[in-house]
Structure 1
Amino acid sequence: MATHDLHDQRTVFGHPIGLTNLFGVELWERFSFYGMLTILGYYLYYSVTDGGLGLPQTTATGIVGAYGGLVYLSTVLGGWVADRLLGMERTVFYGGVVVMLGHIALAILPGLAGVGAGLVLVALGSGALKANASSLLGTLYAKGDPRADGGFTLFYLGINLGAFIGPLITGLLQTRIGFHYGFGAAAIGMALGLIQYVVFR
């Protein structure tokens, strides 16, 4: 028969194996997102001698706020791209690639050029990922499947773990060896998420 019984799918702890993949990619995306966001404001207004850009604090906080708004606005674009161009799965993958490129720009490009390029890329990539990862998770469960609530709970656990660990690691790197190492850790985190996504896709 061409149709497949849901009970014949590979599972992990009773859930579709795809949940493991989405759990991991969202964990690393949130790790990179919140890890970078934690040190971004300090990077903008710390003095040049302290490794920052020396912007006025009000300007720095305004940039961080505008960036946060851009991330959520870009989810509309991410949803459109998935619906009209690439589909959810590829949009999640390419969104992760764009996020990683943004963190690399922050890590290696100096001054406001790196900040501008990095933040735009991270915002666009995060919007694509945010808009589609949870929707993609929903496709793993049939309508009325009692496992779905537990699956979404585990998915959000991955998000919260990434959001918790990311700032700890990037903040530690920033204080010990410099801002660009913190941004680099965010890029490495997203790269790990992408590798895992491709391997278990």
Structure 2
Amino acid sequence: MSLIPFNNFSGQPAGLTTLFFTELWERFSYYGMRAILVLYLISDTSSKNPGLGWSNEDAIQLYGWYTALVYLACVPGGILADKYLSLKNSVILGGGLLCLGHLSLAVNHIHFFFFGLFSIICGVGLLKPSISSLVGNLYRKNDLRRDQGFTIFYIGINFGAFFASIIVGYVGEVYGWHFGFSLAGLGMVLGQIIFISGRKNFNNNLKTEKIVKKKNKLNKIEIDRIKLIALASLILIIFWASFEQAGGLMNIFAYEKTDRLIDFLNFEVPASWFQSINPLLIILLGFFVSALWLSFQKKRIFKLIDF
């Protein structure tokens, strides 16, 4: 009997399905909220769909601080998961904070708005690094399915992002911003229920033990790897800073500067729908790349690199 239980998800470990749908709904809530956040901030208080009436500059400034803190929170969140909590408990606690945060945004009050943003920042910081680590822990060392598993997991992220932009964006822009925030919150609640229901698949993910007993001088290979990680980190910082403009400057541009009316349908495309293009392309190409990569590995075209 195999030591790793399997399910019907392409022969992957049993926990991958739980993590796939948990992250799908977590990203649905995150990207759904992101799709309408800046639009809510700049919408006039006297408009048909009233917002906070902020200037574009103030809205972008808040959005910038919010997204920066979301990513920064993953550092202390990861440390807490490693040293004091466990990966599983961090996901549960982070998911609870995310539910609280998103549903707080549904309340039409400025105090609930800022409390909601703070809760989301803390929740993402706990959940995001831990759930990715749980995916990695499903596999043994040099398991050929690992890369395919992460690709499947990443596709789940983009399914959530795609449907969030379409559904939450439409509801928020047409029926009211707080209805959109409510829908994002319900998505996170569903993700939390899915993870708690499947948490038995992660009973082996205990607290990370401290294994470093003494300081050792780094050898040349280790130094080269650290340099590579530092370079990759710099590139990723630039990439994600640019990528997040989709919910900020590009969102405002689509909202204010583009002709979104489809005449023959008498339908105005919501500005938030433009944010669905990127995840849609990743979904369409992701399954192909996943299958191709696994084929390459089986044929040993590429050798797994152990970092």
1:34-49 matches, cutoff 5 A: 34-49=31-46
Distance of 2:39 and 2:7 partners within structure 1: 44
Residue in structure 1 matched with residue 78 of structure 2 by the alignment: 79
The two structures have a TM-score, normalised by structure 2, of 0.62
Residue in structure 2 matched with residue 141 of structure 1 by the alignment: 139
Residue in structure 2 matched with residue 124 of structure 1 by the alignment: 122
Residue in structure 1 matched with residue 101 of structure 2 by the alignment: 102
- Asked if the contact 2:36/2:173 (under 8 Å) is kept, the reply is no
Higher helix share: 1
Match of 1:10 among 6, 31, 35: 6
Distance of 2:137 and 2:62 partners within structure 1: 36
Which amino acid is 2:181 matched to?
A: F
Which amino acid is 1:57 matched to?
A: N
Determine which structure has more spread, i.e. the larger CA radius of gyration: 2
Q: How big is each residue's C-alpha offset from its partner over 1:121-154, in whole Å with a ceiling of 9 and x where there is no partner?
A: 1111112111111111111100011111111110
- 5+ residue gaps, structure 1: none
Which runs of structure 1 show a deviation greater than 6 angstroms over 4 or more consecutive aligned residues?
A: none
1:59-74 matches, cutoff 5 A: 59-74=58-73
Q: How big is each residue's C-alpha offset from its partner over 1:158-189, in whole Å with a ceiling of 9 and x where there is no partner?
A: 01111111111111111221000000001000
1:170 counterpart = 2:152 = no
Percent of paired sites with the same residue: 44
- Asked if the contact 2:108/2:178 (under 8 Å) is kept, the reply is no
Q: How big is each residue's C-alpha offset from its partner over 1:14-45, in whole Å with a ceiling of 9 and x where there is no partner?
A: 11110001101110111100100110001111
The two structures, once aligned, show a CA RMSD in angstroms of 1.3
How far off its partner does 1:114 sit? 2.2
Q: Secondary structure at the match of 1:79?
A: helix
Distance of 1:61 and 1:170 partners within structure 2: 20
Residue in structure 2 matched with residue 182 of structure 1 by the alignment: 180
Distance of 1:200 and 1:109 partners within structure 2: 34
Residue in structure 1 matched with residue 54 of structure 2 by the alignment: 55
Q: Secondary structure at the match of 2:142?
A: coil
- Asked if the contact 2:70/2:125 (under 8 Å) is kept, the reply is yes
Residue in structure 2 matched with residue 22 of structure 1 by the alignment: 19
The two structures have a TM-score, normalised by structure 1, of 0.93
How far off its partner does 1:109 sit? 4.4
Distance of 1:108 and 1:142 partners within structure 2: 45
Structure number with the bigger relative contact order (C-alpha 8 A, sep ≥ 6) is: 1
Distance of 1:134 and 1:25 partners within structure 2: 11
